[in-house]
Chains A and B, each alone.
Chain A
Amino acid sequence: MNAVDFILAGMLAAATPMLLAALGEMVVERSGVLNLGLEGMMALGAALGFITTYTYQSHALGFLAAGLGGAALSLVFALIVLGFVANQVAAGLAIGILGTGLSALFGKSFESLTISGLPKMALPLLSDLPVVAALFVQDVVVWLTIALALSIWAVMNHSKLGLIIRAVGENPHAARAIGFRVLPIRCAAIAFGGALAGIAGAYASTVYTPLWADGMIAGRGWIALALVVFGTWQTGRVVFGAFLFGALSLGELTTQAAGVNIPSQLLACVPYIVTILMLAVISSNRRRMRLNTIASLGQPFEK
């Protein structure tokens, strides 16, 4: 397998955990809430997903458990920031730490155990194309994630539900004045984001690298957060950023394997820097930036 095939075959799967988490966080932030606990919710989902899949030999159950776990943890966050109107940054960080701790606790007796991943599915016709064929042979979760991204894009931009979420995020006072119930809408968005973060973690631990090691999320939650912000809350840009990051991180591995004479620490920075620079350039129109920014993001709202 040459380097191009290696990157094409792996970039979508490498991007999937970040992408799932980022899509969920994008919806949460669009509703005006900043949940910085992504990393912890992913870690909890990873542990619950791995344990359930290992115990019941079912990936589907694993994803279910991870989704429920992520949503449950995010609802604790919702209670703190919506119910008690606490600071969202502090609450998010605390929830993140809690999730990471729970993950380590639950996963303790599963350290280094392995399970089998998911089989790859080839898309008909596309996987016969020259050069790019490898891109179209992926496991089912990758395809579902891409379908989810499309649906989220459609919902956010072309449905009443999407309009309501955006309205609540832009101006919760006006939304209340015309009769939308801001807190339930935000709570639902938070739970959705939590569930996706949990599932994202489970993908990392049960499909992408199907073995349990504490700390395996390794900063993916933070990257997902960065993708959302630098992708200016636009689905297409978030997807692009995630795939670019996936490709670059595999590119970094191949370059290292080829023994190129660059310090590996420097090489390891490249995917982060390039992805963020690319997204920053794409989003650099100041006027659009003002429009895309979520006006009430992180601000508490009562009633």
Chain B
Amino acid sequence: MTALLSLQSVSKRYGAVQANAGINLVVDPGSIHAILGENGAGKSTLMKLIYGVESPDAGVILWKGQPVNLSSPAEARALGIGMVFQHFSLFETLTVVQNIALIVPGRKTDLARRIRTLGDEFGLNVDPEAMVHALSVGERQRVEIIRCLLLNPELLILDEPTSVLPPQSVARLFETLRALQARGVAILFISHKLEEIKELCDTATILRGGQVTGRVDPRGHSAKDLATLMIGRAMPPPLPATVQAVGEVRLELSGLDFVNDDPFGVSLSDISLRVHSGEIVGIAGISGNGQQELAALISGEVVQPGDMIRMLGHAVGAVGVAQRRKMGFAFVPEERLGRGAVPEMSLADNALLTAHGAGLVQNGFIRRTPERAYTAACIARYDVRTPGPEAEAGALSGGNLQKFIMGREMMLEPKLLLVSQPTWGVDIGAATDIRQRLVAMRNAGAAILVISEELEELFQICDRLHVLHKGHLSPCLPTHATTVEEVGTYMIGAGKSPEVAA
């Protein structure tokens, strides 16, 4: 059997970074092949070479035994290669069906129908007429996957497709992928969730520092072994669970209503919650149920007068982001590029954007030396893999950018921290590290609100949980007294909340 795809000593360098060095890879038809590696190991780069987005500096790519020289994704698609990008390649000002029509031929009405059918078939439901800007990260990912599947690829590349999907959707995605596999489609699958890889994949290639360091059958190894292979050292130990007395209320939402004037957005109704000093409160729920809106209201990106939001002792309804930050509030948004960081700016300047309180600006002028020192400290403390403070934010690998943004906010030592998807796309070594630091901040008295789709993570770090579903918040569930199943029922709206009973 000739391999569907094989790479021979493929290399790619970006400036000073050797992202891929002499990589050999063989993908057989009908195989689900995992690519494992830490943040910055070169996984996305390798996928871009296969999809023709970038071209290799050296090496050969063989497709069904024939050498190919891909100079554009269109050529790759013509061969039968499809790719779902880690940083989505969707256009926010276009609708779902318009985004799909950009690369899938067909009439708009036909496409909309096929999007619906495919959505029903594979559990990837999304409204074809919705504008992409109004979709949550999870929904955008569905759109990307649908866009690929509509082209009937023979090789499907998925760059961290599950990083923002809720558990039910992951299960359905896996069914989809197995169904595709049964039809002979080969899949290249990148994920930092090792259990997923053990469950789904039949081969795993491990990258470290741009080189292949191993090739294993993941079904025959424990997650712990895989992690050790991946990061080249043993995993950090899990967090000790501690219970501590909480302090004063730092964030209080009382009966918060929000009417969304965007027809595709979610309205919030009667949201009440409190976050005290010294505790971590989690908001679970499938993305697209009001998480974006809630985060925007708490962060002050959307201001709504009134005293339904009280922060650090003040009613902040009419107060904007900058004011709230001055009071000791910090915020990590769910979209890293664009909202969390300005891709074209250096890391140092990105640090300055939220850290200007930390003595980096004097009389309106930037103090370059402290700015660099501060950024360098952030890079070192949070193990961000990058050439240095002058690197452009957009050139970082996905997980490293997340580590940087988390680090930037945590270094401000906020009194109140709001984090959306704290470990999205972060490898498990770094994810454990970020979680540990969040817990350390809590132990030191910070009030932390975490919005996440990863139940496992929420159960690990939170003292209490709420579930957000269709703009309604569940009652408070203390983590030690609830179960994944109970939270799961609230997530799909079957919980015993008053709205459902009525």
Q: A residues within 8 Å of B by Cβ?
A: 160, 163-164, 166-167, 170-171, 173-181, 287, 291-292, 295, 299
Binds A, one of B92-100, B223-231, B313-321, B350-358: B92-100
Number of interface residues of B (CB under 8 A): 27
Within the complex, the shortest CB–CB distance from B494 to chain A, in Å, comes to: 33
| Cβ-defined contact, B53 with A167, below 8 A | no
* Interchain CB contact under 8 A, A179 and B91: no
What is the bound-complex CA distance between A164 and B101, given in angstroms? 10
> Taking A166-B94, A179-B74 as contacts, is the C-beta distance between A291 and B89 under 8 angstroms?
no
Bound together, the chains give a CA A176 to CA B51 distance in angstroms of 12
Residues of A within 8 A of B261 (CB): 287
- Give complex CA distance A171, B337 in Å: 12
Q: What residues of B have a CB within 8 angstroms of the CB of A174 in the complex?
A: 88-91
Q: Give the docked Cα–Cα distance between A199 and B394 (Å).
A: 41
**B residues 51-97 touching A (CB-CB < 8 Å):** 52-53, 72-77, 85, 88-94
Q: Is the CB of A167 within 8 A of B88?
A: no
Give the docked Cα–Cα distance between A291 and B76 (Å).
32
Q: Is B327 an interface residue, CB under 8 A from the partner?
A: no
Q: Are A181 and B72 in contact (CB under 8 A)?
A: yes
Contact of A178 among B73, B131, B262, B394 (CB under 8 A): B73
Q: Enumerate chain B residues within 8 angstroms of A175, measured Cβ to Cβ.
A: 89, 91
B52 engages A179 (CB within 8 Å): yes
Please tell me if B259 contacts chain A, counting CB pairs below 8 Å: no
Known: A163-B94, A163-B98, A287-B261. A177 touches B89 (CB 8 A): yes
A291 in contact with B73 (CB, 8 Å)? no
Of A170, A178, A287, A292, the contact of B103 (CB 8 Å cutoff): A178
* Least Cβ–Cβ distance between B434 and chain A, in angstroms: 27
CB contact under 8 A between A160 and B102, given known A166-B91, A177-B53, A287-B262: yes
User: Which residues of A are found within 8 Å of B131, using beta-carbon distances?
Assistant: 291
Cross-chain contact A291 with B102 (CB below 8 angstroms) = no
Docked CA distance A291–B92 (Å): 8
When chains A and B are docked, how far (Å) is the Cα of A174 from the Cα of B103? 12
For residue A303, give the distance in angstroms from its CB to the closest CB of chain B. Answer: 10
Chain B, range 392-435, C-beta contacts under 8 Å to A: 394
Whether A164 lies near B102 (C-beta < 8 A) is yes
Please determine whether B88 and A179 come into contact, CB atoms closer than 8 angstroms: no
Please, how many angstroms separate the alpha-carbon atoms of A177 and B44 in the complex?
Answer: 12
Q: Knowing A160-B102, A178-B103 are in contact, say whether A166-B93 is a contact too (CB < 8 A).
A: yes
Question: Residues of A contacting B85 with CB < 8 Å?
Answer: 177
**Can you list 24 pairs linking A and B with CB atoms under 8 Å apart?**
A160-B101, A163-B98, A163-B101, A164-B102, A167-B91, A167-B102, A170-B92, A170-B93, A170-B94, A174-B88, A174-B89, A175-B89, A177-B48, A177-B85, A177-B89, A178-B73, A178-B89, A178-B102, A179-B52, A179-B103, A180-B102, A287-B261, A291-B93, A295-B93
Residues of A within 8 A of B90 (CB): 174
A291 B91 Cβ-Cβ under 8 A: no
Instruction: Check B133 for interface membership: any CB of A closer than 8 A.
Output: yes
| Interface of A, helix, strand, loop or mixed by DSSP | helix
Q: Pick the 10 closest A-B CB pairs, nearest first.
A: A179-B73, A179-B74, A174-B89, A177-B89, A167-B91, A179-B72, A170-B91, A178-B89, A177-B53, A291-B93
Tell me, in angstroms, the Cα distance from A215 to B131 when the chains sit together.
45
A292 → chain B closest CB, angstroms = 8
Separation of A180 and B52 alpha carbons in the complex (Å): 12
A175 to B52, CA, bound (A): 13
Specify the chain A residue showing the minimal Cβ separation from B147. A178
CB distance from A73 to the nearest CB of B (A): 30
Other CB < 8 Å A-B pairs besides A167-B102, A174-B89, 20 of them? A160-B101, A160-B102, A163-B102, A164-B102, A166-B94, A170-B91, A174-B88, A174-B90, A175-B91, A177-B89, A178-B89, A179-B52, A179-B76, A179-B77, A179-B103, A180-B102, A287-B261, A291-B131, A291-B133, A292-B93
Chain B hits for A177, CB < 8 A: 48, 53, 73, 85, 89
Known: A160-B101, A163-B101, A291-B131. A176 touches B91 (CB 8 A): no
A164: B residues at CB distance < 8 A: 102
- Bound form: Cα–Cα A295–B132 in Å: 14
- Residues of chain A contacted by B93 (CB below 8 angstroms): 166, 170, 291-292, 295
- Point out the residues of chain B lying under 8 angstroms from A181, CB to CB: 72
Across-interface contacts of B262 in A (CB, < 8 A): 287
**Shortest CB distance A171–B (Å):** 6
Q: Separation in Å of the B79 CB from the closest CB of chain A?
A: 12
> Shortest CB–CB separation between residue B66 and chain A, in angstroms?
20
In the bound complex, how far is the Cα of B91 from the Cα of A161, in angstroms? Answer: 15
A167 to B103, CA, bound (A): 12
B175 smallest CB distance to A (angstroms) = 26
Q: Which residue of A lies closest to B77 (CB)?
A: A179
Chain B residue nearest to A167 in the complex (CB): B91
Nearest chain B residue, comparing its CB with the CB of A300? B344
* Bound-state Cα–Cα, A30 to B131, Å: 18
Q: Which chain A residues lie closer than 8 Å to B76 at the CB level? A: 179
